[in-house]
């Protein structure tokens, strides 16, 4: 999707120049858990890795809280522990985040898989599809969190996959914010007014879907431009570069707001 009713993919010149020499961020072994239960940690982390905006706490606070819980021996690798998770218990473990009831429900879904809860497929694509097929909270049309889990397993050195190049970027709200800042995404006047005035968009709306679809297209095209320039990268690596780049943007226009379990 290059042109929609609300979003268009614009020139990628500025985005290409901004990231062409930026390093791919290394996996953060300080802020993530790195012990023997790293696979289980990443499953749990990515199962509740969504909807941080407006809370004052983000991904890193969640990753660190779970790191500490695993390090002190909280048995979150046991499916029966996840199956009985409540919002109150989750708040005790990680602190206050939006959608705590939904996060607890997602962990109960994961625990409900029993001994197969932490099964890692030899294929990144198969793992993403399996997660979306078995767990409703992962069944995002763009497979954001379903794809981020194999990418995280690979990034952490916990698994190897032969088909990582088939994964797309992780369509969220920080990437389109950065791409819009770099003129790679262009919004209609009406959509611009909504986003710039912090108007929440309905989950699954045409506007939200176009933003996310255009993000995937723009990142794929950026990846192709980088390869033509002699820097072959995976789409997920371009994603990591852009996500890191987005954290330091100031001043910058707001990101689109959607309250959802998908990202």
Summarised one tens digit per residue, pLDDT across range 58-99 is 999 999 999 999 999 999 999 999 999 999 999 999 999 999
Same-domain check for residues 20 and 42? no
Strands 185-187 and 7-9, bridge-based pairing: antiparallel
Q: Catalytic annotation on 172?
A: yes
**Does residue 263 sit within a domain?**
no
Q: Same structural domain for residues 77 and 153?
A: yes
Residues 74 and 132 in one domain: yes
**Rounded alpha-carbon distances, angstroms, from residue 121 to 32, 124, 148, 150, 163:** 22, 7, 14, 9, 11
Whether residue 171 sits in one domain with residue 66: no
Q: Answer yes or no: do 61 and 151 share one domain.
A: yes
Give the pLDDT score at 2.
58
Shared domain for 226 and 188, answered yes or no, is: yes
Task: Looking at the structure, tell me whether residues 21 and 61 fall in a common domain.
Answer: no
Tell whether 141 is covered by a domain.
Answer: yes
User: What mean pLDDT value characterizes the chain?
Assistant: 97
**What residues contact residue 204 under an 8 Å CB cut-off, 6+ apart?**
none
pLDDT at 3: 65
Instruction: Compute the distance between CA of residue 218 and CA of residue 244 in angstroms, rounded to an integer.
Output: 17
Token pair for residue 172?
Answer: 């969220």
Q: Indicate whether 77 belongs to any domain.
A: yes
Residues of the chain with pLDDT under 50: none
Matching residue, tokens 């898989």:
113
Question: How many domains does the chain fold into?
Answer: 2
CA distance 161 to 122: 6
Long-range contacts of 247-255 (CB under 8 A, 24+ apart): 247/174, 249/177, 249/178, 249/181, 252/177, 252/181, 253/177, 253/180, 253/181, 253/195, 253/196, 254/177, 254/195, 254/196, 254/198, 255/53, 255/173, 255/174, 255/176, 255/177, 255/195
- Domain end: 161, 190, 206, which one? 161
Residue 252 is assigned to a structural domain of this protein: no
Cα separation, 261 vs 263, whole angstroms: 6
Catalytic position from the list 46, 140, 172, 239 = 172
Q: 257 - beta bridge partners?
A: 200
pTM score, two decimals?
0.96
The answer to whether the CB of 180 falls within 8 A of the CB of 202 is: no
Domain boundary among 133, 161, 189: 161
Residue finishing a domain among 114, 137, 161: 161
One domain, residues 52 and 134: yes
Residues 95 and 156 occupy one common structural domain: yes
For residue 262 the two structure tokens come to 């998908």
What's 119's domain CATH number? 1.10.340
Same domain, 117 and 178: no
Domain-embedded: residue 256: no
My answer on whether 130 and 114 are in the same domain is: yes
Within-domain flag for 260: no
Has residue 191 been placed in a domain? Answer: yes
Rounded CA separation 23/46 (Å): 24
Domain that holds residue 143: 38-161
Dihedral sign from CA coordinates of 215, 220, 225, 230: positive
Rg (CA), the chain: 18
* 16 and 63 assigned to the same domain: no
> Is the residue at 181 inside a domain?
yes
């Amino acid at each position: 999707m290059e042109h929609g009713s609300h979003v268009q993919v614009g020139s990628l010149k500025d985005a290409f120049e901004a990231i062409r020499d930026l390093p791919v961020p290394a996996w953060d072994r300080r802020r993530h858990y790195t012990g023997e239960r790293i696979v289980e940690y990443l499953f749990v982390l990515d199962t509740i890795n969504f909807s941080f905006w407006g809370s004052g706490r983000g991904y890193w606070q969640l990753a660190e809280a779970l790191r500490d819980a695993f390090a002190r021996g909280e048995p979150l690798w046991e499916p029966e522990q996840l199956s009985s998770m409540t919002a109150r218990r989750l708040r005790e473990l990680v602190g206050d985040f939006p959608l705590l009831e939904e996060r607890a429900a997602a962990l109960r879904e994961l625990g409900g898989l029993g001994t197969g809860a932490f099964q890692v497929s030899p294929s990144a694509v198969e793992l993403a599809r399996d997660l979306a097929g078995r767990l409703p909270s992962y069944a995002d049309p763009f497979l954001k969190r379903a794809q981020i889990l194999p990418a995280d397993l690979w990034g952490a050195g916990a698994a190897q996959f032969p088909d990582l190049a088939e994964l797309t970027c992780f369509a969220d709200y920080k990437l389109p914010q950065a791409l819009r800042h770099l003129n790679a995404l262009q919004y209609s006047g009406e959509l611009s007014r909504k986003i710039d005035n912090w108007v929440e968009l309905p989950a699954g709306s045409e506007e939200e879907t176009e933003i996310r679809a255009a993000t995937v297209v723009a990142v794929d095209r950026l990846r192709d431009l980088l390869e033509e320039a002699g820097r072959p990268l995976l789409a997920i690596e371009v994603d990591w570069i852009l996500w890191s780049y987005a954290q330091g943007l100031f001043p910058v226009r707001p990101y689109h707001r959607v309250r959802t379990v998908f990202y």
